[in-house]
Amino acid sequence: MFSGYGIIIGLFILAGLATAIWGGLLLARSRRTLSWPAVKGCIEVAEPSSPENDLLPLIEYSYTVEGRTFRGRLRFPAGTQPQGPEFAASFVRKYPAGSEVAVYYDPEDPRRSVLERGNQGGDWLVLALGLGAVVLGVIMLVL
């Protein structure tokens, strides 16, 4: 029969494993963007705050693929918590309204696009936290 302690640690390990899998999926998805083709786009909106979070910028852009125009939005990893308004201001300076930018789009679904290809810092963090929780849980279970 398992003790309550063992069940709690087992659940902790499972949560860590789920988090690690999620982090791995985030990394795989962001790595796929490295092979996406680029087109010219235009920054339509560059504001220092978004409806979701006053400290995250609102950057919207448009781009055209095979005669069809699409709109996209600069996305941040879930849980991004900027330390101050300078974070948003740096993106507004990097992507000012009216500027021309490279937009990378998914050739299988051109509605999906990014301004910045590849892995973002938060992607690695999710995987690392999940793996850390698994290791810590196993150590606690063994001791």
Average pLDDT over residues 15-32: 88
Residue 24 sits at φ, ψ, to 5 deg, of -65, -40
Contact 55, 82 (CB under 8 A): yes
What is the predicted pLDDT for the residue at 1? 46
- pTM of the predicted protein model: 0.73
Distance CA(3)–CA(17), nearest Å, equals 21
CA 58 vs CA 16, 34, 46, 49, 90: distances in Å: 32, 23, 6, 6, 12
SS3 30: helix
DSSP 8-state code for residue 79: T
State CA 129 to chain mean position distance.
Answer: 15
> How many helical (H) and strand (E) elements, i.e. helices and strands, does the chain have?
3, 5
Q: What is the pLDDT of residues 113-140, one digit of tens each?
A: 999 988 666 667 888 889 999 999 989 8
Distance CA(109)–CA(58), nearest Å, equals 23
Contact 57, 49 (CB under 8 A): yes
Q: What is the pLDDT of residues 43-83, one digit of tens each?
A: 999 999 888 888 889 999 999 999 999 999 998 876 677 77
Strand (E) or helix (H) holding 39: strand 38-47
